[in-house]
Amino acid sequence: MVEAAREWGIFQAVNHGVPADAVAELQRVGREFFALPQEEKQRYAMDPASGKTEGYGSSVQRSPGDRKIWSDNLFHTISPPAAVNHGFWPEKPRGYREANEAYCGHMRRLTREVLERLSAGLGLEEGAMAEAFGGGDDGLVLMQKVNFYPPCPEPELVLGFAPHTDLCAFTVLVADDVPGLQVSKDGRWAVLHRVTVSKEKTRMSWPVFVHPRLEYVVAPHPRLVAGEIPAKYDYKAKTFEDYMYCKINKLPQ
């Protein structure tokens, strides 16, 4: 895991302990939500003026090469409980809330285990990275997104999502059986990734984004840049909220 994270920035988790029926139920309610009439989905529409990312919306924009972004999505916080706004959790289909709450419990455990493995791989104590997030489950914010990529008759003209790196510390991704995620490494299509669409099949994915609280200050871990080990980048400590603002607006970090 550590080697893959270092070399590729991405890895497949196996023997992770997340029950198959929990994943299947998460996928069922996600598919059924996007099969609802448009007016029902619009009840949870994202409000761009609010500055919030939660809610239902469409990604309609131009990517590099003038390829149109072709996707819909639903986005809401699942942890910690104090940050959850159930107003963005659909009432339909049946079981949506129960499926997401059950899956969230597994994600809280899995993210702790991933952080422990990565901490050990960096030569730190197992709890070091979790502590750097503020310690405990309430220090980690988990945001669930459901991506819906409908089939496109001319897939070469569109992307499900343009090339990008995620804003969060790391992402736990569940996908369906329709391929589409492409990873770039050494100039080839890792951390820089994009999403393509299919000509004939709908593609969906369920990423969980893991990051610290907005007010938490992020910076290189002091144990990793101490003494004779210089910082790899000239990165200035800032709140995670300011970090996101700079990244979204392509400002110097």
Residue 76 bears catalytic tag: no
Helices 96-121 and 20-34, packing angle to 10 deg: 130
Active-site residue (options: 76, 106, 193, 211): 193
Checking DSSP bridges between strand 71-79 and strand 161-164, what pairing results, if any? unpaired
CA–CA separation, 221 vs 227, rounded Å? Answer: 13
Map residue 28 onto helix, strand or coil.
helix
Active-site residue (options: 138, 166, 176, 242): 166
Residue 238 bears catalytic tag: no
Compute CA distances 71 → 3, 108, 197, 234, whole Å.
33, 27, 9, 35
Instruction: Supply the DSSP symbol for 185.
Output: B
Is 151:31 a contact under the CB 8 Å cutoff?
A: no
Q: In 131-190, where do the E strands start and end?
A: 140-149, 158-159, 161-164, 170-175, 181-184
CA–CA separation, 9 vs 7, rounded Å? Answer: 6
Map residue 22 onto helix, strand or coil.
helix
Active-site residue (options: 16, 52, 86, 164): 164
Residue 247 bears catalytic tag: no
Residue 201 bears catalytic tag: no
Residues assigned a catalytic role:
145, 164, 166, 193
